[in-house]
């Protein structure tokens, strides 16, 4: 037995490793081959003398080269940077138009659907599919579609779309199963705001790695896309070189990934999950979550379809645009997660603009009353001012179901609370001056309560 080390150029992912390993194993005299795309190397164990030229030919036959990896940290291709710059400008423009027109406001759609029932749930899903779910799941969807187009550039459109269609089918099935579980177990299944934020950070890290690979701005960093260790991947059937009886192909992996997105809830998803819990009926809850997942499908499917449809010389440019979008989604998710995990790090725009001098909350029967409206735009007013040591009655009027309906306020002693339609009342007594932060569970909408010293003569204040 002898070991031979080969440097291999051009590998970027687990699929590359599988192709090179399979090619090397077909060479007579090769007993085992281990391949790492991250290190750009293959180690071959032989049962006798194997000419190196046969190994080189096998690697070339798999579509790669034997040689040290000379990939640069930054691409020197001006076309890459031009495409990325144009994509970034267009993306900023689209976001500006969306904010200016308010087209992501659930109230615009919900007002045309009437009240209650599965039709409203589908409408909320459509809204989420073009807004908050797009931000959280859109990067994953783009990744599935773009990687499929990358690995099968010459396949018919239907074949390149199949992984995403199965991703969507898996998502619907996952939501149906998760909904039934909610109907049985109730609210105990819900993740806390901090847990959602940690999961979001992990997903965002994978999205950053994938975005860098798709944009091709850093050939060296294309190996950042995470993958399970080869042994574990083989045991789970995720490795294309696993025994045929338990091999999990790319289509099955896409479906499984879609099913797991049930565990990545945005605020609107959490509102619908609360509705599912309230049914106390596994069948009804499953129908509710299925209707919601189907509602998110048009936006997510359209996103993937544009990516998968690109052919020829246009394909690399579309993949670069998709990479910019993936990075943008990751940035949004990271900002939201940081807001949840470190509430004081990012203040709402109203506070930074000087609105911290908001008038003191009025006193009613010795209790400070703070009234906040929660709608599709977040919380208004986003800043309130109260006296220290005086009880506070916080009335949050939830007028529009949406991301902001999932309220996360650990500074006020509240974990994730799903606001019910109408006025929700919370009571607390601030014990020291400072700033108390709150946000939606995804950290996209924020607010603060400024606690100040009570004026002389005010009951309960230190200067009374």
So what's the architecture of 349-452 in CATH?
Sandwich (2.60)
Integer Cα distance of 425 and 133 in angstroms = 28
Over residues 60-75, the mean pLDDT reads: 79
**pLDDT tens track for 264-284:** 655 567 667 766 775 667 887
Per CATH, which fold does 2-66 belong to? Alpha-Beta Plaits (3.30.70)
**pLDDT tens track for 216-230:** 788 777 655 554 445
Q: How confident is the model at residue 236 (pLDDT cuts 50, 70, 90)?
A: very low
DSSP label of 222: G
Same fold, 2-66 and 349-452: no
The DSSP line for 399-435 is -S-SGGGEEEEGGGTEEEEEPPSEEEEEEE---SSEE
Integer Cα distance of 380 and 357 in angstroms = 15
Q: Which of 151, 2, 9 has the alpha carbon at shortest distance from 70?
A: 9
Higher pLDDT, residue 69 or 23 = 23
- Taking the CA atoms of 63, 65, 71 and 77 in sequence, report the sign of the dihedral they define: negative
CB atoms within 10 A of CB 64: 22
Opening angle at CA 333, ends 330 and 336, nearest 5: 150
Q: Token match 């109260």: residue?
A: 386
Of 211-215, 313-317, 456-460, the range with the lowest mean pLDDT is: 456-460
Mean pLDDT is highest, among 236-240, 354-358, 380-384, for 380-384
Judged against a pLDDT cut of 80, whether residue 129 lies above it is answered with: no
Integer Cα distance of 415 and 140 in angstroms = 28
On whether the CB atoms of residues 232 and 9 are closer than 8 A, the answer is: no
pTM higher than the cut 0.75: no
Structure confidence at residue 233 (pLDDT): 45
Q: How confident is the model at residue 293 (pLDDT cuts 50, 70, 90)?
A: confident
**pLDDT tens track for 165-181:** 888 888 899 999 988 88
Domain boundaries, the chain: 2-66, 78-341, 349-452
Integer Cα distance of 38 and 51 in angstroms = 26
Q: How confident is the model at residue 40 (pLDDT cuts 50, 70, 90)?
A: confident
Quick one: tokens of 90? 């267009």
Give the three-class secondary structure for 335: helix
Quick one: tokens of 147? 């990687």
Torsion angle in degrees (nearest 10) through CA of 90, 92, 93, 98: 130
Average pLDDT value for the chain: 74
Give the three-class secondary structure for 354: coil
Integer Cα distance of 232 and 153 in angstroms = 29
């Amino acid at each position: 037995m002898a070991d031979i080390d080969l440097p291999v150029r051009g590998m970027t992912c687990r699929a590359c490793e599988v192709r090179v390993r399979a090619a090397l194993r077909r060479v007579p005299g090769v007993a085992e081959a281990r391949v790492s795309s991250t290190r750009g190397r293959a180690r071959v164990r032989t049962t006798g003398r194997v000419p190196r030229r046969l190994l080189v030919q096998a690697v070339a036959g798999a579509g790669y080269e034997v040689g040290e990896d000379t990939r640069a940290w930054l691409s020197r291709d001006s076309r890459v940077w031009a495409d990325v710059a144009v994509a970034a400008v267009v993306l900023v423009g689209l976001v500006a138009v969306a904010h200016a027109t308010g087209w992501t406001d659930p109230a615009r759609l919900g007002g045309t659907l009437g009240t209650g029932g599965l039709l409203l749930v589908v409408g909320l899903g459509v809204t989420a599919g073009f807004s908050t779910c797009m931000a959280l799941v859109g990067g994953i969807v783009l990744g599935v579609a773009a990687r499929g187009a990358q690995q099968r550039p010459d396949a018919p459109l239907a074949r390149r779309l199949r992984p995403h269609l199965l991703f969507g089918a898996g998502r619907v099935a996952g939501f149906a199963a998760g909904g039934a579980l909610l109907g049985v177990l109730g609210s105990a299944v819900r993740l806390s705001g901090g847990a959602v934020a940690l999961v979001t950070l992990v997903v965002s890290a994978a999205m950053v790695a994938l975005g860098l690979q798709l944009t091709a701005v850093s050939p060296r960093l294309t190996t950042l896309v995470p993958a399970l260790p080869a042994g574990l991947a083989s045991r789970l059937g995720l490795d294309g070189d696993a025994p045929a009886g338990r091999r999990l192909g790319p289509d099955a992996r896409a479906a499984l990934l879609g099913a797991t997105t049930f565990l990545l809830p945005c605020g609107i998803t959490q509102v619908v999950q609360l509705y599912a819990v309230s049914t106390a009926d596994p069948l009804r809850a499953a129908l509710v979550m299925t209707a919601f997942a189907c509602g998110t499908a048009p936006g997510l499917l359209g996103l993937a379809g544009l990516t998968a449809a690109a052919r020829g010389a246009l394909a690399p440019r579309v993949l670069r645009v998709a990479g910019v979008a993936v990075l943008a989604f990751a940035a949004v998710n990271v900002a939201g997660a940081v807001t949840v995990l470190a509430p004081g790090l990012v203040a709402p725009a109203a506070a930074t603009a000087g609105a911290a001098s908001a008038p003191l909350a009025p006193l009613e029967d010795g209790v400070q009353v703070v009234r906040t409206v929660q709608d599709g735009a977040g919380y208004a007013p986003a800043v309130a001012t109260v006296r220290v040591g005086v009880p506070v009655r916080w009335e949050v009027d939830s007028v529009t179901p949406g991301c902001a309906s999932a309220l996360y306020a650990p500074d006020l002693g509240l974990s994730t609370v799903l606001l019910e339609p109408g006025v929700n009342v919370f009571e607390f007594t601030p014990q020291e001056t400072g700033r108390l932060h709150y946000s939606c569970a995804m950290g996209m909408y924020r607010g603060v309560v400024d606690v100040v010293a009570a004026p002389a003569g005010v009951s309960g204040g230190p200067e009374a």
